[in-house]
Amino acid sequence: MRAFWEIFCTVVDNYGDAGVTWRLARQLVAEHGQRVRLWVDDLAALARLCPEADVDAARQWRAGVEICRWPAHWQPVEPADVVIEAFACRLPETHVAAMADRRRRVLWLNLEYLSAEDWVGGCHGLPSLQPGGLQKFFFFPGFTTDTGGLLRERGLIERRRAFQADAAARADFLQSVGVQACPGERLISLFAYENAALSSWLEAMASEGRPTLLLVPEGRILDDLRRWLAVPALAVGDGQRRGALRVQVLPFVRQEAYDRLLWCCDFNAVRGEDSFLRAQWAGRPLLWHIYPQADGAHRDKLEAFLSLYLEGLSPAAAGALQELWRAWNAGAAMGPAWSALADQWPELRAHAERWCARQAARPDLAAALVQFYADWL
């Protein structure tokens, strides 16, 4: 069944919101034959992920998706069959009124942030009565069967495994972003918010016996990295060496290229929601810098995910990874936890692949949304 979908996205202060909604919109079009209009209030953020996007266009089509600038002064349009407000952004009041007046009823969904907290499953799919007789349903992505699943394109895991098994393909990709890895180097990617814990982690890697190449896409962590390196500036292409650690700054790349960067690495430090999930699909050990919240609610979200992810690990491996994640998100010393992790590397790598396979065995988020609409009809 082909339906018309609208997705509304407000970019807060990072690329995660735009990243998730852009992936979802493309997948609904490419895999489910849906018509999708994506409303974004900051096209410059979207253009970092989709360089072909025209930041000055009020309306354009990319990858089969109609992309519209969400204007400060809303101009009325006919609502779609399905209207998604991503991450509790507030729809224009006149659009909500038009949804209520539409002859054919509208499915209104609030697509929530990804969380592993226990209460999510009980709230997933629940309706909330709105003015005008509308109902808004809460749709929660998640890691358990009582949630809406995770964003994952068809064939993603198979493509990733084939890429990781092809040394020439990996070398060609790295060369395309200016990277020449040396034999025996461990590759680590770093994409994070500002973090006081970075210097202690860099010191630990620099003093190890094993050489490490740290690949750092442009982002908010660069200033912390520059201070530790004691250099006046860092730009794309810059490289520095300190002891066993070699550091290279990479350009901010489109989503498909970032996936491949994660696939090339032995360990991935990621942030927010979009890169966090993509690192899990990479099937490699990871470190998550969760988006910090003023009320400290992010700590509960971090612990909730760890309680799921650590299942099946030995006490030593689970303890080492847990302490590393806690230190990173508290801005605390990373050295002891990083050293403890080194002894658990083979187990952590096998566990990351098992976790990926278990999550990939479930229906993906886009398919779950399409099925939810079919059932609602």
Residue 273 annotated in active site: yes
In sequence order, the β-bridge partners of residue 69 are 40
The DSSP secondary structure of 256-313, one letter per residue, reads: HHHHHHHHH-SEEEEETTHHHHHHHHTTS-EEEEPPP-TTSHHHHHHHHHHHHHTTTS
Strands 59-62 and 65-69, by their bridges, are: antiparallel
pTM of the predicted structure, to 2 decimals: 0.96
* Dist. CA 237–CA 64, nearest whole Å: 33
Q: Distance (Å, rounded) from C-alpha 104 to C-alpha 350?
A: 50
244-256 pLDDT, tens digit each: 999 999 999 999 9
Q: Which residues make Cβ contacts (< 8 Å) with residue 305, sequence separation at least 6?
A: 116, 143, 288
- Domains of the chain as residue ranges with CATH: 2-149+361-374 (3.40.50), 154-359 (3.40.50.2000)
Q: Which of 6, 17, 81, 112 is catalytic?
A: 17
Q: What is the pLDDT of residues 208-230, one digit of tens each?
A: 999 999 999 999 999 999 999 99
Q: pLDDT per residue over 13-35, tens digit each?
A: 667 789 999 999 999 999 999 99
Q: Is 196 left (phi over 0), alpha (psi -120 to 50) or beta?
A: alpha
**What residue ranges in the chain does DSSP mark as E strands?**
4-9, 35-40, 59-62, 65-69, 82-86, 107-111, 127-129, 135-139, 186-190, 212-217, 239-242, 245-250, 267-271, 286-289
pLDDT for 296 beyond 90: no
Catalytic residue among 42, 85, 203, 273: 273
Annotated catalytic residue 347: no
Q: Can you give the pLDDT at residue 293?
A: 82
Tell me the pairing of strands 135-139 and 127-129. antiparallel
Averaged pLDDT, 287-305: 90
